Structure 1
Amino acid sequence: MVTRTQVYPGYELPSRKTVTNIIIPTLYDQSVLRKKREEINDIEFLSLTTDLRTSRVNDAYIAVTGHYITKDLVLKTFLLKCAEFKDTHSSANIQAALLETTNEWNVTNKINFIVSDKAANVKKAIADIGWKHYGCYGHTLNLIVEDSLNLVKASLDKVKTIVRHFKTSTAALEKLLKAQSQEKPDIVPKRLIQEVPTRWNSTFAMLQRVELENQICATVAILRKDLPILTVEEWALFHELCKILKPFDEATKAMRGEDYMTASTIIVMIRCLGESCNQLLLEEFNVTTNSVITALRTGLDKRLGVERSGTFSYVQF
């Protein structure tokens, strides 16, 4: 292979420090930042989404994303900022961070809407600026599901304990994978999925592995570990929970789209979920499952009254 130094003997490769601190920032400013600023100058309105996150090492970050439609009616999204947030999470500090970001891009007066979670400090920061605000639909939907599943917390805790063991024990995992391969040699064996509080629908993903009920029970029986015992009734409950949570999972995934206007589907989505709950209540589930369905239906009514907001509906109440 011919290297650059062979073709140009007098050429000296720049150091890693030069590439990192000079060349890449210069290319970004000239080819990316400048073009994006020119494009943003031509738009009339810009919507924002923002979120505050904490890393595994307890560092806080704030991210602000812009969404707009070009003159050619193309929906575009770009990241305005993702930076460490060292100040306390007061509404004043969040407000200052948001305004600093929009001022840097010269779009503060173009903001017509901003979406975030419904944390009080974030809502106050946005209200003090004067921007129209709406709580994240996906986040709210996840809260509705979480609240409803508190009714079966004891059973879910048993599942988490079992899954945690298979996630931390190589020997246990190998036995589970082997049990699947022996029963279905042509199928790629599956691993268990642990619930993660910050990941939407992770409880549903965890429960979907009830399809491995036989292999899990057989493996737990030979492990000789002090693991929770799931009853026949609990396994039946998990199968039913998968059925009633599936529409909520599909709705959440649909609202994650970046290539189409998700807000335009919110009212339809909420009505569909409400009707889905009504239909599920007509089926023959056990009492506990029916209680979860009722809690889901109640949560939709209490938390997602978008048709009365005047933002997503033309009808004013």
Structure 2
Amino acid sequence: MAVVWEYLTVSEKDQRYAVCNTCSIEISRGGTARKSFNTTNLIGHLKSRYEAVYRDYLQADQKRKNEAAKKAQTTPGKTQTSIDTAFENAKQLPPDSAKAKQITNKVMEFISLDDQPFSVVEDVGFRSLMKCMEPCYTLPSRRHFVCLPEIHNIVATHIHELLACDITAISFTTDIWSSDVSPVSMLSLTAQWIDKDFNMVKAVLHSQEFPGTHSSSAISEAFDKMFQTWKIDKTRVHAVVRDHARNMTKAMMDSGLASFGCMAHTLQLAIHDGVFSQRSLTDVVAICRKIVGHFKHSPLAYSRLQAVQVQLGMKPKRLQQDISTRWNSTFFMMESLLEQKRALASYAADLPATLSAHQWQLIENFITLLSPFEQLTREVSSSEASAADVIPTVTALRRLLSKQADTDHGVKTTKTSLLEAVNKRFDQIEYDPMFCIATCLDPRYKDRYFDEDVKQRAREILDAHLLPAAGAEDGTRDGASTFHPERKRQRSDGAGPSLHHVFEEILEENGPERPSTSVSQQLDIFLAETPIPRGESALSYWRNNHLRFPELAQMARKYLCAPCTSTKSERLFSSVSHVLDEKRNRLCCDKAEMLIFVKKNMHLTPASSTRFYIYT
């Protein structure tokens, strides 16, 4: 506090004035706003009116300064800041300075990674935060925030360098998406490959605007341009995972690209053919939708249901509404209704429709029947799933649907129809070289999921692809004669067959056989060894065994890089919907694509610039 206030006092009537303790005169404090107040007028009043008082003031002020200087010299770690240094610290950072550019780039990364609008740089709270963290930094306005292209180019350059490395083959996923908030359609292209260290590398290459008609010729032309942009020769394209639309299928054929339909979509079609075509089940689904809709559209009804749940000692939980285009959402809807059966029974008088005891039993059997499909949909949609999972999954489903169980009552016809739909949708998949070779080269499966007649055909396909890659070499490498002991598997007892049991059953039935002499001993030894557990990583196996089986390892880099679903593209468009939302429905597609590109590929850049981020 200034020493002058020992001789004056702030006016109680108006804080803009100070009152002299000697003569009671009001003196202006130098302005009308608090930030403009000063003590110049107050000191001048003492100097002009009271010389003795002014001399006392000077002595007291000098004493205070001396004590402050002495304290600063004796306090360890603290030094008195000079006037020049204080002025230097108060200077604003030039916009073109290294520190200002670094902060601006980090703000741009924040906008990209967290799906924030550009207007966030003008929000009061954000500007206050930045002012507190770096007072010398001036945050640009949204119209002058132009560093996105620079960051995009840095990330794109690194992706180009990765694609130019020694890559055996590259697989892609693609999809077309239309926005709900703006008249925009976008075409995606994601890539993934296995590097020389047997790590899976994934990158988003495009989520570009796709105007006009979505004809096969337009899609094919767009693919040609995208491959040219990234300098990807079509001979390096292993497979493109797409949906089952005719225009997309024909576009891949016209472009000369190997492709196959998303397995999750194929399962969706099989379930609709085999399950939701049954009249008894469609009637039950219709009633379930009415019940859920009643609570979704009436807050009063939901509050009453919640009160019933509490009275019954149940945890309050909302019912789940289904989406007609996703079968598993219908599964979850019926599962949530079955879980709240007791609460719904107490509320039955106010429901627009009710379920009979037979229909409740039908729901329970329906959930039991489709639980393996829901489990497999989650597994094949995971980021680790590959084309090698397709044949074992289909084989396990066929075996499971062929078994009889006590829970089949009321759904036997549905179960038979579902088996027929699975056989129809996955017909002759065991003879497709892309899936056949991928399955054989996956150390979790090998050739154990093939029938005897198909197993020989699979070996012939492997021979045809292995011999050219191996240069017709028929010798063995050091360490190639090592065998792993047979592992015993424990099977848990259960009331009926489960998906896990079916996987284990097929592996046990198709154990190691006599060594083959039709191909190199590398292939003989690899297929004769016991498969690793399904929970382990196939890429980790090849990382540890590529010296034992060098030719097989290189082929595995090619065939295990293909995903079995187009989930990567679908999840990409979920991110796009967060960028092109109702608040940013006028954002141009080029800028939206750059934002998504930076967000999805930032983790591939050197760790020095991204070590503080976690990506999903």
Question: Do the two structures share a fold, i.e. TM-score over 0.5?
Answer: yes
Determine the C-alpha separation between the residues in 2 that align with 1:106 and 1:131.
Answer: 16
Determine the C-alpha separation between the residues in 2 that align with 1:6 and 1:179.
Answer: 54
Query: Which of 209, 215, 239 does residue 343 from structure 2 map onto?
Result: 215
Q: Hey, what does 2:388 align to over in structure 1? A: 264
Q: Hey, what does 2:402 align to over in structure 1? A: 278
Determine the C-alpha separation between the residues in 1 that align with 2:206 and 2:215.
Answer: 19
Q: Give, in angstroms, the shift of residue 6 of structure 1.
A: 6.9
Change beyond 3 A, Cα 1:126–1:214? same
Change beyond 3 A, Cα 1:165–1:54? farther
Determine the C-alpha separation between the residues in 2 that align with 1:7 and 1:61.
Answer: 41
- SS state of the match for residue 241, structure 2? strand
Q: Hey, what does 1:297 align to over in structure 2? A: 419
Partners of 2:272 and 2:327 within 8 A in 1: no
Q: Hey, what does 1:126 align to over in structure 2? A: 252
- SS state of the match for residue 257, structure 1? coil
Is 1:239–2:349 an aligned residue pair?
A: no
Q: Hey, what does 2:283 align to over in structure 1? A: 154
Q: Hey, what does 2:271 align to over in structure 1? A: 145
Q: Hey, what does 2:430 align to over in structure 1? A: 307
Q: Give, in angstroms, the shift of residue 61 of structure 1.
A: 2.5
* Structure 1 counterpart of 2:334, one-letter code: L
Partners of 2:321 and 2:329 within 8 A in 1: yes
Q: Hey, what does 1:27 align to over in structure 2? A: 151
* Structure 2 counterpart of 1:190, one-letter code: K
Q: Hey, what does 1:83 align to over in structure 2? A: 208
- SS state of the match for residue 80, structure 1? strand
- SS state of the match for residue 79, structure 1? strand
After TM superposition, the structure 1 stretch with the greater mean CA deviation from structure 2, 231-240 or 96-105, is 96-105
* Structure 2 counterpart of 1:160, one-letter code: R
Partners of 1:172 and 1:219 within 8 A in 2: no
Partners of 1:50 and 1:64 within 8 A in 2: yes
Query: Which of 47, 56, 63 does residue 188 from structure 2 map onto?
Result: 63
Determine the C-alpha separation between the residues in 1 that align with 2:238 and 2:134.
Answer: 56
Q: Give, in angstroms, the shift of residue 261 of structure 1.
A: 4.2
Is 1:40–2:166 an aligned residue pair?
A: no
**Higher RCO by CA contacts (8 Å cutoff, separation 6 or greater):** 2
Partners of 2:169 and 2:238 within 8 A in 1: yes
Query: Which of 310, 321, 324 does residue 197 from structure 1 map onto?
Result: 324
Give unmatched runs, 5+ long, in structure 2: 1-128, 438-456, 462-616
Partners of 1:62 and 1:84 within 8 A in 2: yes
Q: Hey, what does 1:3 align to over in structure 2? A: 131
Q: Give, in angstroms, the shift of residue 191 of structure 1.
A: 1.0
Q: Hey, what does 1:172 align to over in structure 2? A: 301
Give percent identity, aligned residues only. 28
Q: Give, in angstroms, the shift of residue 139 of structure 1.
A: 0.7
* Structure 2 counterpart of 1:13, one-letter code: L
* Structure 1 counterpart of 2:316, one-letter code: P
Change beyond 3 A, Cα 1:218–1:56? farther
Determine the C-alpha separation between the residues in 1 that align with 2:260 and 2:233.
Answer: 18
After TM superposition, the structure 1 stretch with the greater mean CA deviation from structure 2, 123-132 or 101-110, is 101-110
Change beyond 3 A, Cα 1:113–1:6? closer
Partners of 2:175 and 2:189 within 8 A in 1: yes
Query: Which of 224, 249, 253 does residue 378 from structure 2 map onto?
Result: 253
Computing the radius of gyration over CA atoms, which structure comes out larger, 1 or 2? 2
Q: Hey, what does 2:23 align to over in structure 1? A: none
Determine the C-alpha separation between the residues in 1 that align with 2:371 and 2:424.
Answer: 21
Determine the C-alpha separation between the residues in 1 that align with 2:391 and 2:246.
Answer: 24
Q: Give, in angstroms, the shift of residue 97 of structure 1.
A: 2.0
* Structure 2 counterpart of 1:128, one-letter code: D
Determine the C-alpha separation between the residues in 1 that align with 2:405 and 2:297.
Answer: 41
Q: Give, in angstroms, the shift of residue 207 of structure 1.
A: 1.2
Give unmatched runs, 5+ long, in structure 1: none
* Structure 2 counterpart of 1:71, one-letter code: K
Determine the C-alpha separation between the residues in 1 that align with 2:292 and 2:132.
Answer: 53
Determine the C-alpha separation between the residues in 1 that align with 2:134 and 2:283.
Answer: 69
Determine the C-alpha separation between the residues in 1 that align with 2:276 and 2:246.
Answer: 24
Q: Give, in angstroms, the shift of residue 4 of structure 1.
A: 6.8
Is 1:51–2:185 an aligned residue pair?
A: no
Aligned residues: 304
Determine the C-alpha separation between the residues in 1 that align with 2:133 and 2:401.
Answer: 69
Change beyond 3 A, Cα 1:312–1:6? closer
Q: Give, in angstroms, the shift of residue 219 of structure 1.
A: 2.1
Determine the C-alpha separation between the residues in 2 that align with 1:2 and 1:36.
Answer: 32
Partners of 1:138 and 1:255 within 8 A in 2: yes
Give per-residue Cα distances to partners, 1:61-94, cap 9 Å, x unaligned: 3221111111111112221111332221211111
Give per-residue Cα distances to partners, 1:101-152, cap 9 Å, x unaligned: 2222111422121111111111000000011111111110011112222212
- SS state of the match for residue 194, structure 1? coil
Give per-residue Cα distances to partners, 1:267-309, cap 9 Å, x unaligned: 1111111111112x3435334x111111111111110132122
Determine the C-alpha separation between the residues in 2 that align with 1:181 and 1:5.
Answer: 48
TM-score in terms of structure 1 length: 0.89
Determine the C-alpha separation between the residues in 1 that align with 2:262 and 2:203.
Answer: 18
Partners of 2:242 and 2:262 within 8 A in 1: yes
Determine the C-alpha separation between the residues in 1 that align with 2:282 and 2:178.
Answer: 26
